[in-house]
A and B are shown apart, each in its own frame.
Chain A
Amino acid sequence: MDEKREIRVDVPVLARVEGEGALDLLIRDGEISELRLRIFEPPRFFEKFLEGRSYTEVPDIVARICGICPVAYQMSSVHAFESIFDADPGPWVREMRRLLYCGEWIESHSLHIHLLALPDFLGYPDAPSVARDHPAAVQRGLALQGLGNDLIRMLGGRSVHPVGVKVGGFWHAPSSGQAAAMLERLRAALPEAAELVHFVAGVTVPDDPQEFVSVALRHPDEYGMNEGGLVTSDGLEIGINEYEKYFAESHAPHSTALHSHYFPAGDAPHGAGRPYLVGPLARLNLNVDRLPAGVRENAEAAGLRFPSANMFHSMAARAVETHYAIVEAIRILESYAPSESPAVTISPRPGVGFGCTEAPRGILWHRYEADHEGRVVTARIVPPTSQNQPRIEEDLRRSLDAFGLDHDEEALRLRAETVIRNYDPCISCATHFLRLQLQRD
């Protein structure tokens, strides 16, 4: 039988900023003949918008690129400018940036697990349905999310586009009282986070190992977040300044978005590139040995093993990282003292600098060229979602094949959504509203 099915995802991605995102899937004669994922990417607009702006404006401008991970955009940008200006903000700022990032990981991961992933894996149509049957678990998730949000507010001024961050450090230091109150809340949440890991590990996910290359930051003596070199699961170790030799973006004909590929031979963009994975599972696959013993043992006791080739272990990886971020935030706040000078003085000079930090969804790479007054000459921003996009397409082809293309369209749609949401792309919300069109010849 000649069968033609067309599944089209047509959803208002980032509706507030005129976005678009869609999955086009064409199944012909029982095989996938076309599979295209289209994701709108706001950073492209901002790269041009940044030209001519002073380095002092950049952290606030880039924070507006994404309402979900503003801290990540700020962190990659300040590190890049400090490398250009040869500025070292010192240990206090370093620790506070890590603390701020912990807030963003806790917040973003808790949201994803409870509002987006759990409905898929527990078999519910949406988060409210999960909440009706598992109110305690969802309340715990929302409480953790709120805690991460408040941690960002403590250091970032306001949580949506933090204003506390600047090149050289922070505008102001939290008071000892604020820090003590936050420490108390984090300590109270610690057993909840450990329990979350067990809860998530107990959720059945499809068992479908795949072959893929993981890419993440790696630091000599801590779990990679703000600093370190880039490593891959096939053995590459490079500085973040060498990124462009090994990773390149290209325009896919079907999309306004750029797709990133990994070129193991270091001949990007002319050699043979392949998809790669960034994000929580990639980080844990490469850095599980950098977790504190308590976090690692809790995950092992829950039955989790990393590295994992099962992409659906991403949800568990988010839970482990949530636990880790709370442990790390407690460690930092236990020795907290406000700083008289929460930022170092900056002397602009011309040059090129790089910043690469671990956003909740994976490495966020920035490159800036600055003039003698510290104004942006050129900016390049590579967000995690564009890096994962070819990997998502590869996964979709594989997963839908493994699932069985003869399933009805509703089942195919749900599996496609589940695969996409598992990467927590910036469209994860919108894929709740997949529209399905079926054509039969």
Chain B
Amino acid sequence: MEVAMARLRVVGIGSDHGDDRLGWLACERLAAAPLPEGVEVVRCERFVADLLRLLRDAERVILVDAIRSGRPPGHLHRAGREALAELGAPLSSHGLDLHQLLALAEAVGEAPRELRLYGLEAAECGPGGELSPAVAAALPGLLEALRGELTAAG
């Protein structure tokens, strides 16, 4: 599947495991309403396999993911490209961490001009589990922040 050039692409990174569902769920909610022109909302299903493709051909990319950093569950994270180096390792599920993937995309000239990360601090990511109460309660706040980004880009 080829991906067309986007002004803003929101990429939800997730899985079927507990709070790690967050990225997918947030994208589903965002995509339920009409999107401004030039704005895409997509799910990243395989972290390494899909993400490199989704970083290509976009001016700006916003990644949405569950995050583990030691903050209280449900904490809203917002980070720019430069902050990802520190967040890197805990975000990794396989292959490379996010920081390394971005560095790889940059090295081959396929990275977006601007990249931001939004996420909520995860509590539980057990196999097959549901969203934890703390993350479910914080989800509307995350969606509001993301909708603000979509509107600004539209």
B104 touches A127 (CB 8 A): yes
B68 within 8 A of A: yes
Given contacts A15-B92, A17-B17, A18-B125, contact A115 B106 (CB under 8 A): no
B70 within 8 A of A: no
- Taking CB atoms and an 8 Å cut-off, the chain A residues in 363-400 that contact chain B are none
Choose from A132, A139, A160, A429 the contact partner of B96 (Cβ within 8 Å): A429
Give every chain B residue within 8 A of A132 (Cβ-Cβ).
Answer: 107
Give every chain B residue within 8 A of A232 (Cβ-Cβ).
Answer: none
A14-B64 Cα distance, complex, nearest whole Å: 19
Q: Smallest Cβ distance from A97 to chain B, in angstroms?
A: 20
Give every chain A residue within 8 A of B20 (Cβ-Cβ).
Answer: 16
- Taking CB atoms and an 8 Å cut-off, the chain B residues in 95-123 that contact chain A are 95-97, 100, 103-104, 106-109
Give every chain A residue within 8 A of B95 (Cβ-Cβ).
Answer: 111, 115-116, 428-429
How many A residues face the partner with a CB closer than 8 A? 42
Give every chain A residue within 8 A of B1 (Cβ-Cβ).
Answer: 150, 153
A149 touches B46 (CB 8 A): yes
Given contacts A14-B94, A128-B106, contact A160 B46 (CB under 8 A): yes
Q: Which of B47, B52, B92, B128 has the most CB of A within 10 A?
A: B92
Give every chain B residue within 8 A of A428 (Cβ-Cβ).
Answer: 95
Q: Smallest Cβ distance from A291 to chain B, in angstroms?
A: 26
B126 within 8 A of A: yes
B126 touches A111 (CB 8 A): no
Give every chain B residue within 8 A of A64 (Cβ-Cβ).
Answer: 16, 128
B48 within 8 A of A: yes
Choose from A15, A128, A135, A149 the contact partner of B68 (Cβ within 8 Å): A15
A135 touches B90 (CB 8 A): no
B49 touches A111 (CB 8 A): yes
Closest to A149 in B: B49
B100 touches A126 (CB 8 A): yes
Q: Smallest Cβ distance from A351 to chain B, in angstroms?
A: 28
A106-B16 Cα distance, complex, nearest whole Å: 25
Give every chain B residue within 8 A of A433 (Cβ-Cβ).
Answer: 89
A159 within 8 A of B: yes
A46-B127 Cα distance, complex, nearest whole Å: 9
- Taking CB atoms and an 8 Å cut-off, the chain B residues in 29-73 that contact chain A are 45-50, 52-53, 68
15 contacts between A and B (CB under 8 A): A12-B89, A12-B90, A14-B93, A17-B127, A67-B45, A67-B47, A128-B106, A128-B107, A131-B104, A131-B108, A132-B107, A135-B109, A150-B1, A429-B93, A429-B96
Rank and list the top 3 A-B pairs by shortest CB-CB distance, nearest first: A160-B45, A131-B107, A128-B103
